Copies of this chain bind each other. A is one copy, B any other.
Amino acid sequence: MAVQVTRKEPLVTSATTLTARFSDWQETGFDATRCPIRNVLDRLGDRWTTLVLIALAGRPLRFNEIRRTVPDISKRMLTQTLRHLERDGMATRHVFPTKPPSVEYRLSPLGISVLDPLSSLVDWAENRFAEINRARIAFDATAGTR
């Protein structure tokens, strides 16, 4: 399979490895059940998962503690996000049978392990945020009527 190797300037090393793996996925026809990007990144990319993940990075939290940490998430969406994290083995749920029930959510080793690459991306986002905003303003100015 023609792995399109950039002969000129390799951009970055990560580019070539990404390209190589991309070819692998192509050969599977991008089967959604076998393509890690579609399966994993789509989940991380939804509106709340990343925020909840980071909220739990510091310490285990209870349901309403998370709600206070992520102010504008609804109970419904928080429940759903936590179920997804639980299902993917990224978080665990511990029920304490107190007078009013209290439920604690805690990152599993798997959930902890994603914090590292996630942090890289957040770093990038913070460092490049101003640059991106400038690009957006410039683009909207020239193409404002589009």
Contact = CB atoms under 8 A, between A and B. Distances in A.
Interface string A125-146: 1101101101110111000000
B124 A15 contact: no
B113 A2 contact: yes
| Majority secondary structure of chain A interface residues (helix, strand, loop or mixed) | helix
- Copies of this protein, total: 2
B59 A113 contact: no
B37 A122 contact: yes
B19 A37 contact: no
A131 B114 CA distance: 13
Contact of A135 (B69, B89, B118): B89
15 contacts: A4-B59, A5-B58, A6-B109, A12-B113, A15-B115, A18-B118, A22-B57, A26-B69, A37-B125, A41-B122, A44-B45, A45-B45, A114-B128, A116-B120, A118-B121
